[in-house]
Every structure is written in C-alpha cells, then in structure tokens.
Structure 1
Amino acid sequence: MTTANKKGHVPRENAALTTVSKDTSNSADAQRARLLAALETGPVSTIEARRDLDIMMPAARVHELRHRQGKNILMTRVPLPTDGGRLHSVALYVLLPDPQTDLFDAFVAPSGHHTTALTL
C-alpha cells in the first residue's frame, strides 16, 4: 500500500519508467518504441504512459504493438490514483513472453519423417 506525500500525491512505484529513453518525438513509431521499452521493464498503466512516456492514447499504441508487431500484451483494469489524488479505473498493460514454437510441430522422428502429432 502506498502513502501520500506532503502534497497529497502518491509516489510512483515503477521507477523503471524514468529510465526509458527521452525520445521527444511524437510520431506513432517513437511512441510505440517508448511504450515497448517501458513494457520490457515491467507493467505500465494508462496514467504512467501519459505522464511518463508522453503517450496520450496508449490503447492505440498497444493495439499497434499487438497487431503490427505481434507482441503479446495483456490488459487488466486496476484502480490507480492520478497525480491529483483521485482514484480511476485504468488499464494496466503487461508484456508477456513471445509464444514459443510448439515443439511437436517441428518434431522430426528418428526415422527422418516429419510428424505434427505425437501418439502416446
């Protein structure tokens, strides 16, 4: 649980966002790159993406990462306070590992025959 500081603001828990590249471009490509770099360090909320990464529409960038780059990004809703201290239900995005190739799809039997299924 977090506590408010003197000004009533809740301190950021994800300090990794401050280490993300300071690319100032507002192009969609640059925003996707910033978001992906942040997701590689841990979860990113809508509030953090807007405040720390300067991405005003993070859902659009997540959509592009999923559908253009094939990234596996999970979204869940969580209650988080804004800098003003009010709680909002916001998206929390998590980058999951890329799906691994199914080992049975590429299995080659000792006889040299390719198989797509393993019979037990």
Structure 2
Amino acid sequence: MKKVIFTLLCFAFVLTASANNTPKEGDILTVKTPTAQGFNHVDFPKANILIKRGVVTNYKSVNNETVVIDKIETEANGSTTVTLKKKDGSKFFGFLNTVKANYTKAINSGELVLTK
C-alpha cells in the first residue's frame, strides 16, 4: 500500500512540474550566453551574417537581455517554437526585431531562463 501511495505522489509531482513548463504570451525570459561558440536553440544569426552587417561577432550584447514571448507556435511533432522580442523594444544586434527559439530545448540547455 505504501508503494502505491508513493507512486501516486510521484506521478502527481511529475504532472505538476511538466504543467509549469508551458509558455504563455507575455512571459518574461532572460537570454544567457552559452559556453559554446553560439546558440543552438535560439535562432540568432551566425557570425558571418553579423560580420557582413558590421556588428561585432560576439554575443555579449544579448547576454542577460530580458525578452518577452510574443507568439507561440506548436509544431506537429509536439515541439514549441516561440517568437521573442526585447522587453525594452530595441532590436537584436541593431537589425532584428524578433527571433525564434525552440522553447523546451532552449530552457533545458540554459540558453533561456524563465524570469518570475
């Protein structure tokens, strides 16, 4: 009987934890620069595009930047893609109004952090 109650409690905890991982429009996130060269799950432009535009090729300008979820799209395979805008209304790298990101992968990898 103890095992059944313990299993039910664990199942309820898992359901509660996964329910909090759904994005909503207007949620505020923070962009964290990964330790690798570039972003894998946030669709920022590659370094060669930034060089052509005359922008410095590091991603320090987006580190700790506060962004807001503007639009949410759910794919047929179940992945969730969100469109992000800067909270202050300025542009990313001086020319991008919005960027897209795979929400669950970006949150799990630490590229995006949910701000409360």
TM-score, normalization by structure 2: 0.22
Bigger relative contact order, structure 1 or 2 (CA pairs below 8 A, ≥6 apart): 2
Rg comparison, structure with higher value: 1
Report the structure, 1 or 2, having the larger strand content.
2
TM-score (norm 1): 0.22
